Amino acid sequence: MVSVTTVVLAALAVVASAAPACKPLAYTLPQAGEGDELAAPAANLVLKKIAIGHGIQNYSCETTASNFSATGALAVLYDATPLYPKTKKTGINQREWDSLPTNLLRNQPLPLNKLAGSTYGADPTKPFPDPADLDLQGLPRSKFLGHHFFDNKGVPVFDLGTAGLKAVVKKVDGIAAPRSADAGITGSGAVQWLQLDDNLSGQSRGIKMVYRVITAGGAAQACSVAGVGVQSVPYATFYWFYG
């Protein structure tokens, strides 16, 4: 017969091994590795979420001879934090992690309500379908986290409604995506990596800095190629949120 003491000791041993014996996981913002890098997050900030986003970048061309101008973006955000490599039980390997944006871009339909008659355009009256989790083949599901859009003043917003977080931001810095980045479905290139800070309008909740890294697709096509009017270019990326 097993004594009560043995059972208790065994139970304690299980608890001890389940307790965080090692240091908390260190989240390291990716670097582009080709020269200029984005500044590191301020030392007093902590990582709140890593999202994987999928949507469109919008541009407009006045004439076929002009330069395009960026007019906004729409994306659905999923919580990728539990998939971060070395996360206990749910972490995926580094290679799978680094290729998440390209996997998402190329293996999932755009999670936007389509604008009739367009290839990648979104319905302006109701761009987002009902919230749904992300189910990429062979990987754990990622929970729906919220939306990225531009408000009626043209200001970029990240509404991480399910986490009670929100970021209303301004662009602080941008660097070219690495040469090896996924040029996207249209082949127009990967959008820049960005540092975005709270725009100090008092509308952000729990977020002070946002980084866009490991971008896939989303760059504009030259106006001469795209023609006149709005282009919507599919992209996927990581967004790292600090607060």
Residues that bind ligand NAG (CB under 6 A): 58, 65-67, 71-74, 115, 118, 121-124, 127, 149-151, 153, 155, 168, 170, 199, 201, 203, 230, 232
Residue 123 CB, shortest distance to ligand NAG, in Å, is: 6
Which CB sits closer to ligand NAG, 108 or 113? 113
Which CB sits closer to ligand NAG, 33 or 154? 154
Which CB sits closer to ligand NAG, 70 or 175? 70
Rg (CA), the chain: 21
> Residue 242 half-sphere exposure, CB side, CA atoms within 13 Å?
17
Residue 21 CB, shortest distance to ligand NAG, in Å, is: 44
Distance CA 80, CA 48 (A): 11
Which CB sits closer to ligand NAG, 69 or 90? 69
Nearest residue (beta carbon) to ligand NAG:
72
Among 238, 195, 231, CA closest to 216: 238
For the chain, the distance separating the N- and C-terminal CA atoms, rounded to the nearest angstrom, is 54
Residue 204 CB, shortest distance to ligand NAG, in Å, is: 9
Residue 86 CB, shortest distance to ligand NAG, in Å, is: 36
Residue 39 CB, shortest distance to ligand NAG, in Å, is: 19
Residue 59 CB, shortest distance to ligand NAG, in Å, is: 9
Which CB sits closer to ligand NAG, 114 or 143? 114
Amino acid in the structure at residue 169: V
Which CB sits closer to ligand NAG, 95 or 153? 153
Distance CA 133, CA 156 (A): 23
